[in-house]
Structures are given as structure tokens and as C-alpha cells.
Structure 1
């Protein structure tokens, strides 16, 4: 497969993941599907914006760059018609690396939150984190320690698991583009527009 076509495919795959990341993070601000009276009672990891910043904003730029590579002008520079495409592919590896960092950030934040559990109104009458080292993941009976917001444990666990999966997939896709971009830089794309010779696309 052409390195440009591969990059376009990866970019197209990242777009829906960006949307999932944004949506999941936004929903975390409404634990149990309800508006909370005091935002200080939200889980701390929600404010780290893993889905909005890491899997979202930092992933938009790599996705757009990947999508545009296939149509990038490859007429070249310095008399070398593949030079322009090679430079574009090299640039894509930089954006892919940024994408890996962003998705990795979201992945780590999600993993920490899943292990820590949500902040909630506990059966002792205070707000806090009733779980320890992910013990609630294997013992559903412990979920009763959280009295409010209703269903906050399942809500947070589901959304952070979505962010964990999204971040993991994004890391893989961007890592593939790092390799693909390096191949495109070294070998060039499998087809060039040939516009320097005035022959049009081939």
C-alpha cells in the first residue's frame, strides 16, 4: 500500500476516536447522568481532560495531517520530484509522535482513575475515594460504599474504560504512522503526480 494512502486511512480512523474521546470526557462531568451541585466532588482525574486534551485536541492535528498526505503536492524541490512528498511524510512522523504522547496521556489518566475509583458520597457521611488499588473491580458488593451520585461507579468505570480503549487504539495508530512516515521519508510514496514533467497524475 502507498504510504500516503496508508496515512489517509489512519487519519480517517482517528477522527471518530477523537469524537468518542471528547464525548466520554464531557459525560464524566455529569456523574450518573446528573448535574452535580459541587464540582469539587467530581473525581480529580476528570479535571485532567484526558479525553478532551489528550485523545481530542492533540489528536486532531495528526489526524488532519494524515488525511492530507495523499493529496499533498509531490512535485518536489531541488530538482527531485519526490522531495516534497518525502518531507511531508517526515513531518507526519512528528505529528504522529505528538499523537502518541496525547493518546498516551489519556491512557495513563484513565488507567489511574479506573484503579483509584470514583469520588463519591460515602457511607461514612463524607465525600472521598472509598476504594483501594482497584479492589472494587473484582468485588461488586463494594460499590455500595458510594451512596451518591447514584450509579457513579458504573458511570465512571464505563467512561474511563472507553477512554482507555480509545487512547490505546490511538497510540497504536499513531505508532503505525511513525513507521509508515519513516518508510515514506526513506523510500518515497509509491506514486508521484509527475506534474514537474507536465504529464499530470500517474
Structure 2
């Protein structure tokens, strides 16, 4: 796995948000439409609110990244050059996110069963329903991260360079250069002294 190319800073947030959405999907698959309503009661009462909050944060982050990408693209278009970026591998991202989501799902299901006195689900049940609910969400999250993070890196570089160039331009002051003044003829004059006029010579006598 090419770990250096993966956006490790964004993976935990994507896995956390995706695991809660996948959790809701599991209940919808197991119990049908009534499953989502059942998650708002009992040990699962926290799940809808948590999933809604995480989805809102994810949507806000998505819109913020789109704004940055749009601004960087406008600057690149004005400069006349668009950089090509290498996207992180989707399959590698999906594997990491899915493993994290499945682990969170198993921990949540086990903790909920222990706290409420229910039977702890078996490893087979956790693996089956966790895969059905978490894998589609992990695939979508991997696609989104692969596209967004690669473009975001280039966009941040472009915006940083543009900001540095603007500061450099503002710090440079342009001063007009004055041409050297040619020395002028200075005539000494004092009170009582007549200035002689230069002109054609008078008539000869």
C-alpha cells in the first residue's frame, strides 16, 4: 500500500462520519423503514443526532474545499496554466476507511449490547452486516477523498504562492528617478550694479 500518498489527516474524520452513516444503513437493511425509526430509542438514541451532526460537518467541509478549489482554478486560469495533480489511489483509501469503519461499528454494537443487557452479536453477524452497511459508504468516501484531497493540495499551493507574490509586489515601492539638472549660468548681482545687456554692437563713430 502506498501510504505516503494517502491523505492520512482526512482519513479519521471520513471514517468516523462514514461509520455512523453506515450504522444507519445497517439498521435500514436489517429492519426495513422501521429500522431508522427504531434507532432513535433505547441504546441507539444517540445515533441519529450524531449522524446528523457529522453529516453536517462533512457537508460544510465539502463546500469549503469546493470554494478553495474554485478560487485556485480562477487564479490558475488567469495565469494561463493549470497544474495536473496525482490523485491518491481509491482502492487503498477504501481499504483503510472500510477497516476503520468496520472496527467502529463492531465496537459500537458490542458496547450497546453490553450496556443494555442484550446478547452480544457474534463476529459473523458483525462482519456480515458491517460489510453490507459500511462498504458502500467507504467506497463513496474514498472516491470523494481521492478527488478532493489531490485538488486541495495544488489549490493551497497556488493560493499560497499568489499571496506571497501579492505581498512582494506591495512591499516594493517604485520611486521616479529625476534626471540630473544641467548647471545653469549664474550671474552675480548686487545692489547698485547694472546688468549689462548683450546685443548688437552700436554704430561706429
| Fold in common (TM above 0.5) | no
Larger radius of gyration: 2
Q: Report TM bin, short chain.
A: 0.3 to 0.5
- Provide TM-score, normalisation by structure 1: 0.38
- Provide TM-score, normalisation by structure 2: 0.37
